[in-house]
Structure 1
Amino acid sequence: MGAPRHADARGSSWPAPTWETHPWHDSWRDYEAAVVPPIATLDVCEVLDAATAARVGAAQQAIVDFDRELTEEFGARESGTTNTVLLRSEAASSSQIEHLTVSAKQLALAEVGAARSVNAGIVQANVTAMTDATAVEGGLDTSVATQMHQQLLGDTGLHIGLRHEQVWIGTSGSSPLGAEFVAPHHSHVEENLDDLWRFLAEPARLPLAQIAVGHAQFETIHPFVDGNGRVGRALVHRYLRHVGLTTHVTVPISAGLLAATGSYVAALTEYRKGNPLPIVIEFARASRDAAAIGREMLAGLRAVRDSWNTRITARSDSVAWKIADNLVGHPAVAADIAAQQHGVSPQAARTAIGHLVDVGVLKRASTGRRNQVWVAEEITSCYDRIAVLIGRRTIY
């Protein structure tokens, strides 16, 4: 192992990675892997200029206002459905950043085990990981991150848990030689993560800036063989809930990042050069965009749900109305699932689903007589429209 050499910090007072030399096992040449500097005792606010600090403060207020306004608007009864909608969008956007795309219909079918798309199952696992990340109180540590990793990749056959091999970004898949970035040697991962958790446990004057830098540090450590980005973005939401910036709903920050993926990736690259400002700015921008995206999506879904009120003619106490309400957050349904959720017999569930089919709320998605599944395609189309609009959104 060679002596570390310093990277260019570009005048920033934030520490840049150094580099150490390792032999590559199937080559006579050596490669250089990053040595991630400790940040546990650092204060990111000390490297922010006044304008950036103000942007972060405004973005934090946008997050708090979004959470408060939606909680007040939808109330306790509907806040669960609202958060399900936002989590679904956030997981899909986080996955799409890594080029894992899936239609809303296939994602809905994956939730009931009827998807034909491999990606749908992967994205649905991301929904589960994000849901669990925000459902349990507590801070961040390695066990939390590895549990998320297990949820994300448990059915893929890929290595689960902290890596025991070298990983890198760019160039070929067979060697780190010439890579765009070579992550720290696996022997450093645990200590790097311990330092990161200490950094995120410190009281922060601007928590959004703290987690922006923490996220970039996590991606620089790259503790897993695969799934680092999705785990890293799920950790963001657990942190926001832990520090109280969100209390009831999930702000779709990944959707905001997806609207300018190139800037997000460039900001992570700049962080690896010792410059934390771009990633802080990106998180501030993405957070403000996220509030607008979330409101736009919820308004579209509400309009669809309201249109059903004149079409559903079942009695007011019919389970058809309960199923219709649930379709906003869970657009696919099977009779046995509906029966269990709403405490009715399978026959009653089938009768209610039949009525929703008759009035055009549901369409059958499976052709077999057994294990039939229906989808509210107006709802999935609304999700898909928002996904398209995210890609076209003007960044400010």
Structure 2
Amino acid sequence: MGRYGEQLWSPDPAAPLRGRRVGVYRPYCPDLLASYPPVLQEDLVSRAMAIEAGIRSLSATAAVGLDRVAGFLLRSEAIGSSRMEGIRVAPQQVALAEFAVGAGPDTVVEGFSTGARRVARNITALRQAVTDVARAGTITVDGIVSLQRTLLPGHRSTGPRTVQTWLGGSEWNPLDAAFIPPPASAVGRLMADLATYASEGPHPPLIQAGLVHAQFETIQPFDDGNGRVGRTLIHTVLARRGLLGRAVLPVSLVFMTRPREYVRALTAFCHEGPPNSMVARTALNQWLTFFLDAVVVAVEEARTFTAELAELRRSWDVRLSAFRNRTTAPRNRPWEPSVSDRLLAALSESPVITEVSAARLLDVPPQAAWAAAEELVAAGILRRRQIGRGTIGYLSREVSDLLSSAERRLTSVK
């Protein structure tokens, strides 16, 4: 599993007097994964493969195909992952920030916080993780660093860290830290090995994804963004192994509602001992059991999301039909799917639109997109709101509310 080393801490002369302590600290250095792949219990591997079979069938059995709600699932995962870092933002603000990211420089979008912008970057990083990084010939350290750069544009220092970091305790020294990752001198070798294992690991996809995540969080290779990047790598592995297409599982949404169990299981992963000893296998089993339990819940949440979105779409159809029956003579009703109907189908992926974005999305003239959005407002499906100087947005609050209800549901059953 790994080993604890011993290092002498010399205080920073710039530290306040109370922070100038000298002492021994113990960084943890995990074993290499690609060079020494762990031997796992057969029942754990069998369970992982059974869960994978359920994931593969999810798209076919879900109320709507997962690829059609990929944007919604990406949003749910990014919100969960960001909340684990203390970034708590209402889903509707996230939808606004996400829209702003893709709106282009000519569209001014306001009304969302800095935190919402950070979650929107997390969504972009997730999308990058399951496309560019997952589809590359091999997963590389540079590819992983690119995810950090997407999360933290303009950050003072991206890429593998060059100093010792630690979690918990004093900001000035690691002597009372809860966890101390490997020395900076070991990060390059460990990350190269991690990238090789993520590309070529011999284990089933879910086992591989769980080990990549735990190893990354143990290495803590960056000075910022480790948690969010580490969780995106789960989806990189699953996408690379073909378990899902553009969609992701809301695993972080589950982690978020089980923070103590998550930390306890990751802590167990850092047990000291020979790689394939009974102690090491027990520690691995504790982490992977927690991880697989979380995936099972995430699969059910994805299934619930798709069913809820399908039901929401049916309710929109009923409302739109009722509105048309009240306002349109029968002979004038459209027999072909209208622009409004096509816009309804896009709302789960794009809960915030404008006349311009809807026109681009549906490949129709702006006037037709505006008329469709206004019809959905009149039918009680969209809300009109000024989202920037000279920019009128159309928002679906009901799509965002599904994410809030999921958090309440998960919290109540954990």
TM-score range, shorter-chain basis? Answer: 0.7 to 0.9
Letter in 1 for 2:413: R
User: Number of residue pairs matched?
Assistant: 373
Distance 2:363 2:348 in 1: 19
In structure 2, relative to structure 1, the CA distance for the partners of 1:220 and 1:346 (3 Å cut) is: same
State the match for 1:141 in structure 2.
140
Match of 1:103 among 85, 90, 95: 90
Runs of 5+ consecutive residues of structure 2 not aligned to the other structure: 14-19, 101-108, 273-282, 325-332
Match of 1:34 among 24, 27, 31: 27
Letter in 2 for 1:96: R
Question: Contact (CA 8 Å) 1:67, 1:248: kept in 2 or not?
Answer: no
In structure 2, relative to structure 1, the CA distance for the partners of 1:101 and 1:60 (3 Å cut) is: farther
In structure 2, relative to structure 1, the CA distance for the partners of 1:120 and 1:248 (3 Å cut) is: closer
State the match for 2:279 in structure 1.
none
Match of 2:303 among 290, 295, 300: 295
State the match for 2:150 in structure 1.
151
Q: In the TM superposition, what are the counterparts of 1:1-396 in structure 2 within 5 Å?
A: 14-26=1-13, 27=20, 29-39=22-32, 40-44=34-38, 46=39, 48-49=40-41, 53-71=42-60, 73=62, 79-113=66-100, 114=109, 115-136=111-132, 137-138=135-136, 139-154=138-153, 157-247=155-245, 249-274=247-272, 275-312=283-320, 313=324, 315=334, 316-366=336-386, 370-394=390-414
Letter in 1 for 2:153: G
Letter in 1 for 2:359: A
Letter in 2 for 1:192: L
Give me the identity figure in percent: 29
In the TM superposition, residue 288 of structure 1 has moved relative to its aligned partner by 0.8
In structure 2, relative to structure 1, the CA distance for the partners of 1:158 and 1:376 (3 Å cut) is: farther
In structure 2, relative to structure 1, the CA distance for the partners of 1:204 and 1:335 (3 Å cut) is: same
Q: Secondary structure at the match of 1:169?
A: coil
Moved more, 380-389 or 205-214: 205-214
Distance 1:19 1:200 in 2: 29
In the TM superposition, residue 206 of structure 1 has moved relative to its aligned partner by 3.3
In structure 2, relative to structure 1, the CA distance for the partners of 1:250 and 1:372 (3 Å cut) is: same
Question: Contact (CA 8 Å) 1:107, 1:120: kept in 2 or not?
Answer: yes
Question: Contact (CA 8 Å) 2:81, 2:228: kept in 1 or not?
Answer: yes
Runs of 5+ consecutive residues of structure 1 not aligned to the other structure: 1-13
Distance 1:20 1:222 in 2: 18
In structure 2, relative to structure 1, the CA distance for the partners of 1:21 and 1:71 (3 Å cut) is: farther
Distance 2:182 2:48 in 1: 32
In the TM superposition, residue 28 of structure 1 has moved relative to its aligned partner by 5.4
State the match for 1:10 in structure 2.
none
Question: Contact (CA 8 Å) 1:162, 1:223: kept in 2 or not?
Answer: yes
In structure 2, relative to structure 1, the CA distance for the partners of 1:210 and 1:66 (3 Å cut) is: closer
TM-score for the superposition, normalised by structure 2: 0.83
In the TM superposition, residue 35 of structure 1 has moved relative to its aligned partner by 4.7
Letter in 1 for 2:188: E
Q: Mark the structure with the bigger radius of gyration.
A: 2
Distance 2:8 2:205 in 1: 35
Letter in 2 for 1:324: L
Letter in 1 for 2:131: A
Question: Contact (CA 8 Å) 2:141, 2:192: kept in 1 or not?
Answer: yes
In structure 2, relative to structure 1, the CA distance for the partners of 1:361 and 1:36 (3 Å cut) is: same
In the TM superposition, residue 186 of structure 1 has moved relative to its aligned partner by 2.0
Distance 1:73 1:318 in 2: 26
Letter in 1 for 2:390: R
Question: Contact (CA 8 Å) 1:168, 1:182: kept in 2 or not?
Answer: yes
In structure 2, relative to structure 1, the CA distance for the partners of 1:229 and 1:374 (3 Å cut) is: same
State the match for 1:7 in structure 2.
none
In the TM superposition, residue 247 of structure 1 has moved relative to its aligned partner by 4.2
In the TM superposition, residue 106 of structure 1 has moved relative to its aligned partner by 0.8
Q: Secondary structure at the match of 2:2?
A: coil
Distance 1:105 1:203 in 2: 39
In structure 2, relative to structure 1, the CA distance for the partners of 1:215 and 1:79 (3 Å cut) is: closer
Question: Contact (CA 8 Å) 2:147, 2:229: kept in 1 or not?
Answer: yes
Letter in 1 for 2:354: A
Question: Contact (CA 8 Å) 1:112, 1:334: kept in 2 or not?
Answer: no
Distance 1:146 1:372 in 2: 37
Distance 2:231 2:171 in 1: 24
TM-score for the superposition, normalised by structure 1: 0.87
In structure 2, relative to structure 1, the CA distance for the partners of 1:172 and 1:16 (3 Å cut) is: same
In the TM superposition, residue 58 of structure 1 has moved relative to its aligned partner by 2.5
